[in-house]
Amino acid sequence: MKHSKKRVYCSGPLFCPEEQWGMKAIADVLEKAGYDTFLPQRDGLEKYVMGLANDPRVTNKMFRRINQFVSRAIFSVDVYQIIEGCDYLVFNMNGRTPDEGGVVETGIAFAVQKPLVIYKKDYRTKFNGSDNSMLTGLTYTFSTVGQMERIPAELEKVAASLESLGPNPYSGNGIPPHMQKVLSFGKKVWKFLGVVNFFEAGDEKRLDLLDQIAAMSKEAPGFA
C-alpha cells in the first residue's frame, strides 16, 4: 500500500447531483478524520465516461463504439481499488433501493475480509421495517450507521475486530486466479490513466484515451 494513511473506498450511488453530493459528504467526513479516500465520481473513470455519455456533442454511435470495452475497464479499476488500492470500504445504502454497483462492491470487500461500514439514513425498507439481512450481514454485525460522523469510529471498530482473527488469507496469492486477472488489468488501466493525465484532458482527448482503453480491454486476459 503506497498511501501513508488508511484509504477508504467510498461506494454508493453517483448518477445524479444529489447522489454525488451525498457521496462527497461521506468522503469529506472521512478525510476530515484523517483518511485518504477513493471516490469513483472524482477519482475513477466514472465521472468522465458518464459526462461523455450525456454530452450532446458525442453521438450515441460514437460512444457505443467503445462503451462495451470501457465498461470492463471501469469494473476492473474499481475492483482493483477495493482489493489492492484501499484498506476499508464505506457503502452508502441510501435510496429507494440499494445501488446495484455498491452492493457488488460491498460483497467483494466482505469476501476479501476488508473492514466495511454501511451508512444508511433512509427510512425506506422492505422487510417489515428491517433492511435485507443479506446486505446488513456484510457488516459482520447486521447493522448500519445512521450518522456520517460515526463512520470513522465504526470503521476502526470493525478493523480491530477483524484483526483479532489473525492474518487475512485473501491477500497476495490468496486471491483466486480469475480475480487476479481482473486486478492485473485494473492496475494496468489505473497506471495508464496516471501517465496520460486523463482527468485533465479535454473532451476530444478523453475520447482518444477511451479508445486506447477500449483497445487494452480487448487484449485483457479473460475478456475475450
82 DSSP assignment: I
pTM score of the predicted model = 0.84
Q: What torsion do the CA atoms of 138, 94, 88, 134 make, to the nearest 10 degrees?
A: 10
> Where along the chain do its domains lie?
7-219
Determine the pLDDT at residue 1. Answer: 40
Q: How far apart are CA 79 and CA 179, in angstroms?
A: 9
Q: Which residue has the higher pLDDT, 222 or 152?
A: 152
Query: 3-state DSSP call for residue 38?
Result: strand
Residue 165: pLDDT above 60? yes
Q: With pLDDT > 90 as the criterion, what percentage of the chain qualifies?
A: 39
194-206 pLDDT, tens digit each? 766 555 556 667 6
Mean pLDDT along residues 33-60: 76
Mean pLDDT along residues 55-80: 73
Residue 178: pLDDT above 70? yes
Q: How far apart are CA 57 and CA 33, in angstroms?
A: 41
Determine the pLDDT at residue 45. Answer: 79
Mean pLDDT of all residues in the chain? 82
Determine the pLDDT at residue 35. Answer: 97
Please, which pLDDT band fits residue 3 given cuts at 50, 70 and 90?
Answer: very low
Q: At what angle do helices 203-219 and 46-53 cross, to 10 degrees?
A: 110
Determine the pLDDT at residue 38. Answer: 96
Residue 78: pLDDT above 80? yes
Determine the pLDDT at residue 55. Answer: 60
Q: How far apart are CA 38 and CA 150, in angstroms?
A: 19
Residue 223: pLDDT above 60? no
Please, which pLDDT band fits residue 37 given cuts at 50, 70 and 90?
Answer: very high
Which spans in the chain are helix H? 17-32, 40-43, 46-53, 60-80, 100-111, 133-136, 151-163, 177-196, 203-219
Task: Let me know if domain 7-219 sits in CATH 3.40.50.450.
Answer: yes
Determine the pLDDT at residue 73. Answer: 85
Q: With pLDDT > 70 as the criterion, what percentage of the chain qualifies?
A: 77
Cell 477519482, located at residue:
43
Among 15-19, 80-84, 85-89, 122-126, which is the least confidently predicted range? 122-126
Closest CA to 162 of 197, 196, 186, 138: 138
Please, which pLDDT band fits residue 211 given cuts at 50, 70 and 90?
Answer: confident
